[in-house]
């Protein structure tokens, strides 16, 4: 069963497919995002806001989010803890 986490502005991703959640500030990440845009595998979920985190997915897609990496990591962790407790409540779905 896939677990969706909210990444801002009504957008969600499958938490099981996330490899990394990183800050977009370093030069290597900026190059990775630019390369993904050129290849057509970048998904911009920022709604025109500043990109504060970059999600690297299993299928090599790169998702841009306006939420901080710490916020997204906390939502993934909360989802994992809720699943471990058998609680299927949709935590982290409100902003």
Q: What is the mean pLDDT, run by run of 10 residues, along the chain of 95 residues? A: 91 96 97 98 98 98 98 89 65 46
Residue-level pLDDT at 91: 45
Which residue's structure tokens are 């998904």?
43
Give one word for 10, left, alpha or beta, with left for phi > 0 and alpha for psi -120 to 50: left
Q: Model pTM? A: 0.84
By residue count, the chain amounts to 95
Q: In terms of Cα–Cα distance, which of 15, 8, 94 is closest to 50?
A: 8
């Amino acid at each position: 069963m896939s677990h969706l986490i909210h990444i801002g502005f009504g957008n969600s991703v499958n938490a099981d497919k996330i490899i990394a959640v990183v800050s977009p500030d370093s030069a290597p990440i900026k190059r990775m995002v630019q390369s993904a845009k050129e290849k057509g595998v970048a998904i911009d979920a920022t709604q025109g806001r500043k990109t504060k985190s970059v999600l690297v997915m299993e299928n090599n897609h790169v998702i841009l989010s306006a939420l901080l990496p710490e916020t997204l990591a906390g939502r993934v962790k909360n989802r994992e803890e809720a699943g471990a407790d058998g609680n299927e409540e949709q935590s982290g779905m409100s902003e």
